[in-house]
Structure 1
Amino acid sequence: MAEPETHPIGLDEIDALASRAGRVIEKLRARVFSPGTSKSLDLRFNVRSAAEMCGRTEKALRDAEADGRLPEPEKDPATGRRTGYSLAEVNRMREVFGTLPRRAPTDPATVLAVQNFKGGVGKSTVVVHLAQYLALKGYRVCVVDCDSQASTTSVFGLNPDVDVDEEEDTLYPFFRHGGPTSLHYALRATYWPGIALIPANLGLYDAEYEFAARMVREQDFVLDRLRAGIASISDQFDVILLDPPPALGMISLSVLRAANAIIVPAPPNNIDFGSTAHFLRMMSSTLGELAQHGGARGYHFVKILATKMNDQKSAHMAIKRMMDAVFPQDMLGAVLKDSAEIDNASANLMTVYELTGPATRSETHKRCRVYLDAVGREVETEIRKTWPSHQAALRKEGIL
């Protein structure tokens, strides 16, 4: 008679392991989320930068201040020099000069999903930096965190375990039977002017199970539930960015149905590129299946973005060349390169765009800003191409 198997690691041990990991997370978050404090944006722009952001000359800006169209700038009492302008003040200038680059009311809001079923490809990094790039340009942006890991929520200054109630603040109530009919209840202003957030936390994970159960009874309703929610708030924004979970589940499928544009982040290495190829096949197959029940869905654009690119690695260069050859019309020309600047900022739950002081004068920071700005600029152009009111301006700029 065989002796019974022994399994020294059981549920109690797994629970203990989870508890220890939780204590580490608490310590890390305590370092970033100090009690009684909230995240703020310390960016200030000098008169030259502010004028460039508004598309006007420094003289035009000073004249508007002199004739009362703009308020007098804040000055340092000791030196009498301008202290610089906040992003909110720059947007006020854009309103006065009529240079806010927003869509017309008749243009469709861009609902852009940054989607890949594999984790670790830079999805949330792309979402937060793209959101802030667009906000710096003056667009109205909403970020919808659909991932229960809540990385994006954390970067925007909310502690998912403390500041976010799964029963009131996330998508979870909206997905429940008899839930709200609009997503307005979940919208939160952020410390970034022009960016609103629908946050997430671990409780959102339960929505996957409830969604799956409802799928049997209310297939069409469940498939387009998120799409209907996005439609309920889209009039307030130019761009709505969706950050889905890194897995093929009900929420990810809902994101595919809700989006009208997709960016696929794909690091140029064998494993990640292979996973991206699988993702594209699964996406095609899944959308085909869903179309039979909820109608076909199309997208204004689907673009692949090479992320975590390292020019010093020959394998990266070889796979990037292959990607360009296989997807000649589908790759973004810009590349998000591997950067210590992004890693260092992320360690403090920040982005490269919100760093200030001496750190922004390093060559590493400047190079990273060039990469991020190039990605943002190219995605911005793809978005503007979908807005009829921007066609004339794009032709004038030589883009169309």
Structure 2
Amino acid sequence: RTSEAIRQAEADGRLPAPRLSATGRREGYSLSEVNHMRDVFGTRPRRGPDDPPIVMAVQNFKGGVGKSTLTCHVAQFLALKGYRVAVIDCDSQASTTTIFGFNPDIDIDDEETLLPFFRHGGEPDLKYALRSTAWPGIDLVPANLGLYQAEYEAAARLRGNPDALDRLRRGVESMAGDYDVVLLDPPPALGMLSLAVLRAANALLIPTPPSTVDFASTAHFLRMIVETLEVMQNHLGARGYHFLRVVATKVDEGKSAHTQIRDMMEAVFGADMLSASLLDSAEIDNANVQLRTVYELSGPTTKTYERCRNNLDRLNGEIELLIRKAWPSHRSELRRLGLG
């Protein structure tokens, strides 16, 4: 909406009066206030009542690929747009939990993670573990080191009962109706939790750095996914994805080896790879030192920051478009914009 429309809404009481500085200038708006404006003007993006919540796993069985970094930046980008987002940290390393401002060893008890949900006779759904974050529009199911026990709990439940692999899916479904997007950050290993995440998700992002080892590992991962899903399908029924995309991460465009391998990835994966990459940037490193994301950095704007922010927005905008294309209620608008 225009500044004139905002002033008119303030004048007729639909919006509160703005905060002013000592010099009489508007001080700006918080994300909560921006979302309230969106609600007043009817411009806040939402899935329609008949649209499925997108349950998106950011998954690779190899560690160090930028999985948690991507998860947190996607979540915060969507929240900035006004979507309702839940993040479920399924990894006992708890990197995502840490980035969202919690100390897993101090702030998070084992009973506040997924662990009780996987115990025999445990919690019936996941609502007990959801907590607010500093970000309006983002709730979190946190993790800590104790979550590794869930691997054993899940394996014990699976013995003689293949349906136990769908327990996480049912738990996610119990709370997903309150959100537009649910993000899952699983462990970087082929264990029970990772398999449960594959069954719970209806969309998949596969972060892959442009190195020969990571490229080969992702190719193996995709073959393994196909084989694993076929086995699970025989026992539990089919489980489809709205979309599956490979994402090149940690890309340094100043290194010819990176650009060459990324070109190879594009040739191999084709339309199943996002056109935007997550570029390696000093700003991401600076944010990590502060246990933040680039979207949370403050201070003077630099060219390095602008490049990094523009890259993140382009990448996340591509992911947002995939999400919206999965919602039937958004298709006519996307066609009108030439994006359908």
Alignment of 1:178 onto 2:118: no
Amino acid at match of 1:57: T
Residue 217 of structure 1: CA displacement?
A: 2.8
Residue 280 of structure 1: aligned partner: 222
Q: Which runs of 5+ in 1 are unaligned?
A: 1-55
Residue 82 of structure 2: aligned partner: 138
Instruction: Choose 1 or 2 for highest CA Rg.
Output: 1
TM-score by length of 1: 0.84
Residue 73 of structure 1: aligned partner: 18
Residue 302 of structure 2: aligned partner: 362
SS of residue paired to 1:304:
strand
Residue 136 of structure 2: aligned partner: 193
- Please give the alpha-carbon distance, in whole angstroms, between the structure 1 residues aligned to 2:90 and 2:204: 15
Residue 90 of structure 1: aligned partner: 34
- Please give the alpha-carbon distance, in whole angstroms, between the structure 1 residues aligned to 2:193 and 2:225: 14
Task: Say which of 150, 157, 179 aligns to 1:207.
Answer: 150
Amino acid at match of 1:357: G
Residue 326 of structure 1: CA displacement?
A: 1.0
- Please give the alpha-carbon distance, in whole angstroms, between the structure 1 residues aligned to 2:6 and 2:336: 25
Matches within 5 A, 1:40-59: 56-59=1-4
SS of residue paired to 1:265:
strand
Amino acid at match of 1:59: E
Amino acid at match of 1:189: S
- Please give the alpha-carbon distance, in whole angstroms, between the structure 1 residues aligned to 2:10 and 2:173: 39
Amino acid at match of 2:9: A
Task: Say which of 309, 327, 331 aligns to 1:387.
Answer: 327
Task: Say which of 49, 52, 60 aligns to 2:5.
Answer: 60
- Please give the alpha-carbon distance, in whole angstroms, between the structure 1 residues aligned to 2:97 and 2:168: 18
Alignment of 1:304 onto 2:246: yes
Residue 34 of structure 1: aligned partner: none
- Please give the alpha-carbon distance, in whole angstroms, between the structure 2 residues aligned to 1:178 and 1:213: 13
SS of residue paired to 2:234:
helix
- Please give the alpha-carbon distance, in whole angstroms, between the structure 1 residues aligned to 2:263 and 2:20: 52
- Please give the alpha-carbon distance, in whole angstroms, between the structure 1 residues aligned to 2:108 and 2:237: 34
SS of residue paired to 1:162:
coil
Residue 268 of structure 1: aligned partner: 210
Residue 46 of structure 1: aligned partner: none
SS of residue paired to 1:329:
helix
Residue 194 of structure 2: aligned partner: 252
Q: Which runs of 5+ in 2 are unaligned?
A: none
- Please give the alpha-carbon distance, in whole angstroms, between the structure 1 residues aligned to 2:269 and 2:284: 27
Amino acid at match of 1:126: L
Residue 62 of structure 1: CA displacement?
A: 1.1
Superposed CA deviations along residues 292-341 of structure 1, whole A, max 9, x for unmatched, are 11112110000011111111111111111111111111110111111110
- Please give the alpha-carbon distance, in whole angstroms, between the structure 2 residues aligned to 1:267 and 1:261: 20
Residue 203 of structure 1: CA displacement?
A: 0.7
- Please give the alpha-carbon distance, in whole angstroms, between the structure 1 residues aligned to 2:39 and 2:5: 14
- Please give the alpha-carbon distance, in whole angstroms, between the structure 1 residues aligned to 2:154 and 2:35: 40
Amino acid at match of 1:64: A
Residue 150 of structure 1: aligned partner: 94
SS of residue paired to 2:13:
coil
SS of residue paired to 1:196:
strand
- Please give the alpha-carbon distance, in whole angstroms, between the structure 2 residues aligned to 1:118 and 1:298: 23
RMSD value, Cα: 0.8
- Please give the alpha-carbon distance, in whole angstroms, between the structure 2 residues aligned to 1:279 and 1:127: 19
Matches within 5 A, 1:339-358: 339-358=281-300
Amino acid at match of 2:17: E
Alignment of 1:111 onto 2:51: no
Superposed CA deviations along residues 229-279 of structure 1, whole A, max 9, x for unmatched, are 000001100000000000000000000000000000011110111111111
Residue 233 of structure 2: aligned partner: 291
Residue 218 of structure 1: CA displacement?
A: 2.0
TM-score by length of 2: 0.99
Amino acid at match of 2:225: M
- Please give the alpha-carbon distance, in whole angstroms, between the structure 2 residues aligned to 1:162 and 1:311: 39
Residue 121 of structure 1: CA displacement?
A: 0.5
- Please give the alpha-carbon distance, in whole angstroms, between the structure 1 residues aligned to 2:65 and 2:241: 22
Amino acid at match of 1:277: A
How many matched pairs? 340
Amino acid at match of 2:88: V
Residue 97 of structure 1: CA displacement?
A: 0.2
Amino acid at match of 1:93: M
Residue 57 of structure 1: CA displacement?
A: 0.8
- Please give the alpha-carbon distance, in whole angstroms, between the structure 1 residues aligned to 2:153 and 2:44: 42
- Please give the alpha-carbon distance, in whole angstroms, between the structure 1 residues aligned to 2:148 and 2:24: 54
Which structure carries more relative contact order (alpha carbon 8 Å, separation 6+)? 2
Residue 43 of structure 1: aligned partner: none
Residue 313 of structure 2: aligned partner: 373
Residue 37 of structure 1: aligned partner: none
Q: Percent identity?
A: 64
Residue 170 of structure 1: CA displacement?
A: 0.6
Matches within 5 A, 1:222-241: 222-241=164-183
- Please give the alpha-carbon distance, in whole angstroms, between the structure 1 residues aligned to 2:97 and 2:266: 33
SS of residue paired to 1:380:
helix
- Please give the alpha-carbon distance, in whole angstroms, between the structure 1 residues aligned to 2:247 and 2:186: 16
